[in-house]
Amino acid sequence: MKKVSVIICVYNEENTIKDVILSVSKSIIVSEIIVVNDGSSDKTKQIIEELKKDIEITDIHFSENKGKGYAMAIGIEYATFEIIQFIDADLSNITTEHISQLTNPMINNEADMVLGQATETLINYGLNPFKSFTGERSVLKEDIRPIIEKMKTSRFGVETLINLYYQSQGKRVKYVMLKDLKHPTKFEKTSSSNAVKEFVSEGQEIAVTAIKNYDLIIKSVKQIIAKNI
């Protein structure tokens, strides 16, 4: 059976990182936990190092924030096993069942990428145009390896890059609902003004990533047309 490497990229999530790591460690299908600390300035590093005394963790610590794309790419380079699963560090109520939901379609060869959506969102899942930007996803290491270098410079646009690449390759994508999983909004984590600033900054990074990978957009459109002919 294919084994699973879980990658948790974290930046200043001292309130949730411990529970996320502990929850992931309880899953019997997880063979490896890789935590990438992306230059956190709070107590994240201390919490990770304390957990290492009881849980086998590969921890990587950056001295400065390098962006989500870089952190994810480094996690992949450290990963040992076939299935790569990304889990956000700011989740609540994550369970072993959620891990299985994200993994089983890969093990059963039902999908090339599985995207998980928390049920605690402001937008109905069926109508949510941003559901492909979720941080909870599973992929095969061999499939995502070709874009590792691009991921390193994509920052928050990394999920756009991954989605475009998989669409351009005609990969099978499966969405799963992760019942009772809670993913906080930016407005719950910081002030309204800071949340707006973060939205603007991340939107710019997504736009830049899309522009830089225009060729993938064209290939994706061709894939869509080919499927509908």
For residue 223, what is the domain's CATH number? 3.90.550.10
Task: Give per-residue pLDDT as tens, 71-119.
Answer: 999 999 999 999 999 999 999 999 999 999 999 999 999 999 999 988 6
Model pLDDT, residue 128: 43
Model pLDDT, residue 190: 81
Domain that residue 94 falls in: 4-228
Distance of alpha carbon 118 from alpha carbon 125, whole angstroms: 9
pLDDT category of residue 120 using cuts at 50, 70 and 90: low
Mean pLDDT lowest for which of 92-106, 152-166, 201-215?
201-215
Distance of alpha carbon 158 from alpha carbon 207, whole angstroms: 11
pLDDT > 80? residue 219 = yes
Burial class, 225, CB count within 10 angstroms (exposed 0-12 / middle 13-18 / buried 19+): exposed
Number of structural domains (the chain) is: 1
pLDDT > 70? residue 126 = no
Mean pLDDT over residues 144-160, rounded? 95
Model pLDDT, residue 14: 96
pLDDT category of residue 131 using cuts at 50, 70 and 90: low
pLDDT > 60? residue 130 = no
Over the chain, what is the mean pLDDT? 91
Virtual torsion, Cα 73, 78, 82, 86, nearest 10 deg? -50
Model pLDDT, residue 203: 87
Q: Which of 106, 98, 87, 100 is nearest to 173 (CA)?
A: 106
Instruction: Give the residue ranges of DSSP H helices in the chain.
Output: 17-25, 44-51, 68-78, 96-107, 141-144, 148-152, 158-168, 186-189, 192-212, 214-228
Mean pLDDT over residues 132-151, rounded? 93
In degrees, to the nearest 5, what angle opens at C-alpha 106 toward C-alphas 103 and 109? 150
- Which residue's entry shows tokens 């991954």? 162
Neighbours of 90 (CB within 10 A): 18
Model pLDDT, residue 185: 80
